[in-house]
Amino acid sequence: MGAAIWGVVPAAGIGTRMQADRPKQYLRLAGKTVIQHSIERLLSLECIEGVVVSIAADDPWWPTLEWSDASKIAVVEGGAERSDSVLHALDWLAGNEQVTDSWVLVHDAARPCLSQQDLLALIDGVKADPVGGILAAPVADTLKQAGTDQTIVATVDRSTLWRALTPQMFRLGMLRDALQQSHIAGDPVTDDAQAIERLGHAPQLIEGSASNLKITHPGDLIVAEEILRGLEQ
């Protein structure tokens, strides 16, 4: 029997760019909220033991959600930064007898279009790796470096550049240690792989679909609905 696999979904953020009356993870999308799609995508695989969700302390929307299998979802209080919310979830897992070599899949609450194919590719691609890895997509667009006056100062070589996606899959003990060190240093990370990199490790890049978009702007909901229709066919 291999190491256990758990999902972790940090969902304590507000997301002001959507200009909505609630955080973007609670906006409606194809009959459900964005976060319901994101969590159900993880739970679609039987090998995933459950999902730990970090929410804001005064979150009024979470209690209104309905789940087909609520017993596989645990809720903890999130933190001020995304990395704090992930760490709180890892602390919960560590306190509930999960061994340090258990795997955790950290997934953005606002990425509802994760395909089962990509999820399986990530798990299969890194389960034998001593460090772990992330879903990512090669950068397709030409990149420009801007000066302080918002003029182009250089064209950036994109041949080795990838966009980090989620889930990101690491060992519970290693990721918890990495995030604790970042917290102590007062230097938060923008994703989990960055914390692992700071320990001197090199996570794998597993190519995933660019359709695994993060809901950021209002128009993204329209695109996501079309993607979900394709995934459910």
Give per-residue pLDDT as tens, 180-230: 999 999 988 999 999 999 999 999 999 999 999 999 999 999 999 999 988
pLDDT of residue 2: 77
Sign of CA dihedral 24, 33, 63, 12: negative
User: Mind listing the pLDDT tens digit for each residue in 65-111?
Assistant: 999 889 999 999 999 999 999 999 999 999 987 788 899 999 999 99
Sign of CA dihedral 15, 29, 46, 214: negative
Residue ranges of domains in the chain: 5-231
Q: What is the CATH number of domain 5-231?
A: 3.90.550.10
How far apart CA 156 and CA 152 sit, in angstroms, is: 10
Average pLDDT for residues 28-55, to the nearest whole number? 96
